[in-house]
Structure 1
Amino acid sequence: MRSLVPVLIAATALVATPAVAKEKLAPEAQLAKLLEGRTAGEPQDCITLSSVSDSQVIDKTAIVYRIGGTLWVNRPTTGAESLNDDVVLVTKLPTGRLCSIDTVELHDRTSHFYRGFVGLGKFVPYRRAASD
């Protein structure tokens, strides 16, 4: 009977400890958190694709491109409802510049099948405020 006591105490501790699930933020809240501490600049028509070090899709909302310390937010004019974590962005540009008149194909992350496209809007730069 003595050997069961530690097991019962451990089992009770596991049941009594609430599981903490990471809550997923709404898309606008996720974007706001990403841009926290940054200030919007003047919207631009184009960015240089070869300078982009990272991109992130915000579900049904935006595509965020990172160039150096600047985050460039693009809210597509068409097709934004198709943006989610399960798509891969496929960009075909002969000029090397990504502009607000361009489209970006969406392909399924797993099957690689075509899932649609988004028509890009203007690119809004968000930079960290200069520290004093």
Structure 2
Amino acid sequence: MRVLAFALAATALVAGGAAVSAKPKLTPEQRLEKLLEGRTAGKPTSCISQSDTRDLEILDGVALVYRSGTTLYVNKPRNPEDLDSDDILVIRPTGSQLCRLDMVHTVDRTGHFTTGFINLGDFVPYRRTQQAAK
């Protein structure tokens, strides 16, 4: 009987510890804020090089974040409510750069039907400040 009681107590302790250590899920706005910690905004640009950008993060209803080396380019579309990380972005660039006037539409990941269009804004570069880089 003691063994059973000890096992139940240990299980409760482990389960309780897991619940306490679980981190709350960040909202898209909070995720963007965290990504930009220690960074300073540069002069907005209308285009970025596609060959230099490696990662894209879609922050639902907020922004697109492109990574190019140590620089993050944040694009806040004119219609951010249409951004959904469950959708696939289909981008039809007019050249080797991604520009604010390029056609971007979203496609449902499972049904492959068009769910909307994204009107890109300017790309704002965020670079680490000298203090944050040290």
1:41 corresponds in structure 2 to 42
The structure where helix makes up a greater share of residues is 2
Distance 1:72 1:16 in 2: 41
Distance 1:43 1:100 in 2: 11
Q: What is the correspondence of 1:1-132 to structure 2 with a 5 Å cutoff? A: 1-14=1-14, 16-17=16-17, 19-20=19-20, 21-78=22-79, 80-130=80-130, 131=133
Output the TM-score relative to the length of structure 2.
0.85
- Structure 2's unaligned 5+ residue stretches are none
Matched pairs, number: 131
Output the TM-score relative to the length of structure 1.
0.86
Distance 2:2 2:120 in 1: 68
- Structure 1's unaligned 5+ residue stretches are none
| Identity percentage of aligned residues | 48
Note the aligned Cα RMSD (angstroms).
2.0
Q: Cα distance, 1:2 vs. partner?
A: 4.3
**Residue identity in the other structure for 1:51:** D
Distance 1:69 1:123 in 2: 15
Q: Cα distance, 1:87 vs. partner?
A: 1.3
